[in-house]
Structure 1
Amino acid sequence: MLIQELAEKIITEVRKLLDEDIIVVDTKGQIIASTDPIRVNTFHEGALIASQKKEKLIISEADQQILKGVKAGINLPIFFQRDVVGVIGITGNPDAVSPFGEIIRKMTELLISESYVTEQFDWQSRSMEAFLLDWIQLKEWNEAFLERAKLLHIDLNVHRQVMIAEVAKGSSILHRDLWLSILSWQERTDTDVITRWGNNRIIYLLTSDQNYHDKAKRFHQFLLDRLKMEVSMGVGLSVPPKDINQSFHQAERALHAKNSTCDLIFDEDLALEMILDDISQQTKDDFIKRTIAPLLEDEELIVTLKKLIENHFSLKRTSESLHVHINTLHYRLKKITEMTHLNPRNIDDLFILYLSLQFLDKHLKI
Structure 2
Amino acid sequence: MLLAKLAEKIVNEVRKLIGEDIIVVNTDGTIIASTDRTRIGMFHEGALIVSKEKRKLIITKGGEQNLKGVKAGISFPIFFQNNVIGVIGITGEPLRVTPFGEIIRKMTELLISENYYAEQFDRQSRAMETFVMDWIQTKDWDDSIINRARILEINIHLRRIIAIIDFESFDYIISRDAWTSMVKWFSPNPNDIVVRWGNERIVILLDFSNNPTKETINKKLEGFISFLRGQFGLSAFVGIGQAADSKEIRSSYRQAERALKVSKQKMKIIFDEELTLEMVLDELSPKTIHDFITRTIGPILTDKELIATLKELFKQNHSLKKTSDQLHIHINTLHYRLKKIDEYTQLNTGNIHDLLIMYLAILFLDVHTKISG
TM-score, scaled relative to structure 2: 0.85
Contact 2:25–2:87 (8 Å) recurs in 1: yes
> 2 CA distance for matches of 1:308 and 1:316?
10
Displacement of 1:15 in angstroms is: 1.1
Query: C-alpha offsets along residues 206-257 of structure 1, whole Å, 9 cap, x if unaligned?
Result: 2224333123212222222221122211111111111111111111111112
Letter in 1 for 2:361: I
- Specify the alignment match of 1:213 in structure 2: 214
**Could you say what secondary structure the match of 1:195 adopts?**
strand
**Could you say what secondary structure the match of 1:275 adopts?**
helix
> 1 CA distance for matches of 2:72 and 2:204?
57
**Could you say what secondary structure the match of 1:205 adopts?**
strand
- Specify the alignment match of 2:87 in structure 1: 87
> 1 CA distance for matches of 2:360 and 2:155?
46
Distance 1:156 1:186, change over 3 A: closer
- Specify the alignment match of 2:328 in structure 1: 325
- Specify the alignment match of 1:107 in structure 2: 107
Greater CA deviation, 286-295 or 96-105? Answer: 286-295
- Specify the alignment match of 1:146 in structure 2: 146
- Specify the alignment match of 1:359 in structure 2: 368
Contact 2:74–2:98 (8 Å) recurs in 1: yes
Contact 2:50–2:87 (8 Å) recurs in 1: yes
Q: Which runs of 5+ in 2 are unaligned?
A: none
Contact 1:295–1:336 (8 Å) recurs in 2: no
Query: C-alpha offsets along residues 300-343 of structure 1, whole Å, 9 cap, x if unaligned?
Result: 8767665654554556666777xx63359949966993997377
Contact 1:292–1:356 (8 Å) recurs in 2: no
- Specify the alignment match of 1:46 in structure 2: 46
- Specify the alignment match of 2:341 in structure 1: 337
> 2 CA distance for matches of 1:76 and 1:320?
81
Displacement of 1:357 in angstroms is: 2.1
Aligned residues: 361
> 2 CA distance for matches of 1:280 and 1:269?
22
Distance 1:187 1:133, change over 3 A: closer
**Could you say what secondary structure the match of 1:258 adopts?**
helix
- Specify the alignment match of 2:23 in structure 1: 23
Contact 1:315–1:326 (8 Å) recurs in 2: no
244, 269, 285: which one aligns with 1:280: 285
Letter in 2 for 1:353: I
Contact 1:236–1:248 (8 Å) recurs in 2: yes
Q: Which runs of 5+ in 1 are unaligned?
A: none
TM-score, scaled relative to structure 1: 0.87
Query: C-alpha offsets along residues 116-170 of structure 1, whole Å, 9 cap, x if unaligned?
Result: 1211111111111100111112223222221110011111222111111111253
Contact 1:295–1:302 (8 Å) recurs in 2: yes
Contact 2:311–2:362 (8 Å) recurs in 1: no
Distance 1:285 1:207, change over 3 A: same
Letter in 1 for 2:345: H
> 1 CA distance for matches of 2:96 and 2:343?
83
**Could you say what secondary structure the match of 1:157 adopts?**
coil
Q: Does 1:241 align with 2:246?
A: yes
Contact 1:237–1:268 (8 Å) recurs in 2: yes
Show the 5 A alignment for 1:140-179: 140-168=140-168, 170-171=170-171, 174-179=174-179
Letter in 1 for 2:200: N
Contact 2:192–2:204 (8 Å) recurs in 1: yes
Greater CA deviation, 251-260 or 240-249? Answer: 251-260
Between the aligned residues of both structures, percent identity stands at 46
- Specify the alignment match of 1:224 in structure 2: 225
Show the 5 A alignment for 1:257-276: 257-276=262-281
**Could you say what secondary structure the match of 1:154 adopts?**
coil
> 1 CA distance for matches of 2:54 and 2:339?
83
> 2 CA distance for matches of 1:243 and 1:227?
30
> 2 CA distance for matches of 1:109 and 1:335?
79
